[in-house]
């Protein structure tokens, strides 16, 4: 009598890793359910196994919960509102590094537009509705209601390669979070408000803001979490050199 063999540990691990990676998404609505400190610490411990050039481990993490989180939300939302009222204030809010290009070209601008209008379309935000656009953008600065906000900094003395290291560390956090039923949203939107954020979190003078991240349990009832971005097929970005 034949029977199906028990999957090997390596197959099970591969399936679990693939599931964590492919189920990761940028969640934009979270439940108020808290996340225990021990869980956050364990996620960060696992994530710290990320590779870095000559093992420099350039990451610094600031965890915001409760009053510290709420106070930062209030400060940055107020600045965001003030910036809308007076666009000349933009000169006060500079990113430490260029996350996006100065000049957009295809295919990147096309993907960016598709991403933005697909999200706004889902939410019923039409082109030119500046009030709703502003409110939706400000959801970033409320951590999308996630109970945990993370801020990541880098010593300015470090080179651009450390941002590559940081990307691997951030991905590890997001995948480790998925393995525990949590979701995340990495956010470069915070970067322009570094002059408010860095003093609030107690960062040193030589630290620059890399990005923020929301962490918590996704709200399954909020339609914004139905938004899933497409990916290009492997054949479109892979060149076999042989």
Q: Please check the confidence at residue 5 and state whether its pLDDT lies above 60.
A: no
For residue 234, tell me if it sits in a domain: no
Phi, psi torsion values for 58, nearest 5 degrees: -80, 0
pTM for this one? 0.93
In a domain, 2, yes or no: no
Q: Residue 164 falls within a domain, yes or no?
A: yes
Distance CA 131, CA 125 (A): 9
| Interval 60-108: pLDDT, tens | 999 999 999 999 999 999 999 999 999 999 999 999 999 999 999 999 9
Asked if residue 36 has pLDDT above 90, the reply is yes
Q: Is residue 124 domain-resident?
A: no
Domain containing 207: what range?
22-99+141-227
> How many structural domains is the chain composed of?
1
Give yes or no for a contact between 208 and 159, defined as CB atoms under 8 angstroms apart: no
Q: For the domain that residue 176 is a member of, what is the CATH number?
A: 3.40.109.10
The reply to whether 222 falls in a domain is: yes
Kindly state whether residue 198 falls inside one of the protein's structural domains: yes
**The pair of three-digit structure tokens given for residue 86, joined into one six-digit string:** 């007076």
Collapsed DSSP state (helix, strand, coil) of residue 63 = strand
Cis peptide before 13 (omega within 30 of 0): no
Sheet holding 148-155, edge to edge: 60-64, 148-155, 207-216, 183-187
| Residue predicted with more confidence, 4 or 124 | 124
Determine what percent of the chain is predicted with pLDDT higher than 70.
Answer: 95
Q: Give a yes or no: residue 5 inside a domain.
A: no
Is pLDDT at 6 greater than 70 in this prediction? Answer: no
The residue that leads in pLDDT, 110 or 128, is 110
């Amino acid at each position: 009598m034949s029977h199906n063999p028990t999957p090997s540990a390596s197959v099970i691990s591969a399936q679990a890793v693939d599931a964590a990676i492919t189920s990761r998404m940028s969640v934009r609505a979270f439940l108020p359910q808290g996340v225990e400190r021990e869980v956050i610490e364990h996620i960060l411990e696992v994530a710290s196994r990320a590779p870095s050039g000559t093992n420099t481990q350039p990451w610094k993490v600031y965890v915001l919960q409760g009053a510290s989180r709420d106070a930062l939300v209030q400060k940055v939302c107020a600045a965001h509102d003030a910036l809308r009222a007076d666009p000349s204030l933009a000169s006060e809010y500079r990113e430490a590094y260029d996350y996006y290009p100065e000049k957009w070209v295809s295919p990147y601008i096309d993907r960016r537009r598709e991403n933005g209008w697909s999200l706004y379309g889902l939410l019923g935000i039409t082109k030119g509705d500046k009030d709703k656009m502003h409110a939706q953008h400000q959801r970033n600065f409320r951590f999308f209601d996630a109970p945990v906000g993370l801020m990541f900094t880098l010593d300015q003395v470090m080179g651009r390669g450390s941002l590559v290291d940081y990307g691997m560390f951030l991905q590890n956090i997001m995948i480790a979070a998925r393995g525990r039923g949590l979701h995340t949203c990495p956010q470069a939107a915070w970067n322009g408000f570094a002059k408010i954020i860095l003093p609030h979190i107690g960062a040193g003078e030589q630290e620059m803001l890399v990005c923020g991240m929301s962490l918590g349990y996704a709200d399954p009832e909020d339609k914004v979490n139905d938004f899933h971005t497409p990916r290009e097929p492997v054949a479109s970005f892979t060149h076999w050199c042989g």
